[in-house]
Amino acid sequence: MIPSTFHGPHPGPKFGRMESGSSHKPGAPDKGNSKTSKHTVLLLQTSKDFQSRTYLHFSSVGEALDGLVLMYEQALAHTDPSYTPAVRKFTEIYEFFDSFVDLGVLVFTPAVNGYRPYTRQWLKEKLFEHLKREHCIHKDGET
């Protein structure tokens, strides 16, 4: 079970409630590191209570994935104060993704000048690709 809120500073994303507006202008230059960076809005709901719905802004899908991994590590640290980042299996991170009542992402797509929605499963697939690209995956599937 994950906590409904995460304590401590979070260096990357901008948090907001679902009813909040966005100050990001989709046509604005992207500050991501790759030429394929696209503004990404991570949508999540941590419990059945609708008040737990929130969103996080990222400059790219990769940053959103890094943010999810950071949230996973924060959740572990919250439940186990002696936790230190170590080797993790994808199944553990995927279980964390599945612990959310709802999880999805909107990725800005210039060709349609709008956001395309993607599912939890898509995020899992992208996480594997992202960590593989970042050389964070060992041969046995551990990160």
Flag whether the pTM goes above 0.75: no
Q: Which residue segments constitute the domains of the chain, with CATH numbers given?
A: 35-133 (3.30.2260.10)
Instruction: 64-67: list long-range contacts, CB under 8 Å, 24+ apart.
Output: 64/13, 64/40, 64/105, 65/123, 65/126, 65/127, 65/130, 65/131, 66/12, 66/130, 67/10, 67/12, 67/13, 67/42
30, 141, 12: which is closest to 69 by C-alpha?
Answer: 12
Give me the tens of pLDDT residue by residue for the chain, a chain 143 residues long.
333 333 333 334 444 443 333 334 444 433 433 445 699 999 999 999 999 999 999 999 999 999 998 898 888 888 877 776 666 677 888 898 999 999 999 999 999 999 999 999 999 999 988 877 765 655 455 55
